[in-house]
Amino acid sequence: MSVEGLHAIELAAHTLLSGSLDNLNENFDSLNQSQVIILTRLKIIEKRLSDYKQILEDNNINERELSDRFTKIKELRKRLDVCIKTLERVEQRVDRMNTKLDSN
């Protein structure tokens, strides 16, 4: 008893398994598509993290440069303070000399 060369048991097995095999094939296709999407997203995330890392490294260099510049500014300010004190002393002397000259 065969239909188009298939035995009844083969026909029954095919009927029982064909739905499962179709579902399994669809699941594999869906899994493959999900993997492609996940890999694409991971590459995007990796690129963004790489860019962010580069920005951080650039900022660290800039922070070092800024720190050096602030140190130089502090040194210059100290030197300027010393110059201002010296100038004040000179102005005081000049004032005293002017006072002495005016009194004579």
Which pTM was predicted?
0.45
- Note down the domain range covering 95: 2-103
Q: Measure the N-to-C terminal CA separation of the chain; round to a whole number of Å.
A: 146
CA atoms within 13 A on the CB side of 23: 5
pLDDT at 46: 95
Q: Each residue of 66-92: pLDDT tens digit?
A: 788 889 999 999 999 999 999 999 999
Contacts with 2 (C-beta within 8 Å, 6 or more apart), sequence order: 8
Query: What's the structural domain count of the chain?
Result: 1
pLDDT at 92: 92
Residue 59 in this model has a pLDDT that exceeds 80: no
Give me Rg for the CA atoms of the chain: 43
Q: What secondary structure letter does DSSP report for 2?
A: E
Contacts with 1 (C-beta within 8 Å, 6 or more apart), sequence order: 7, 8
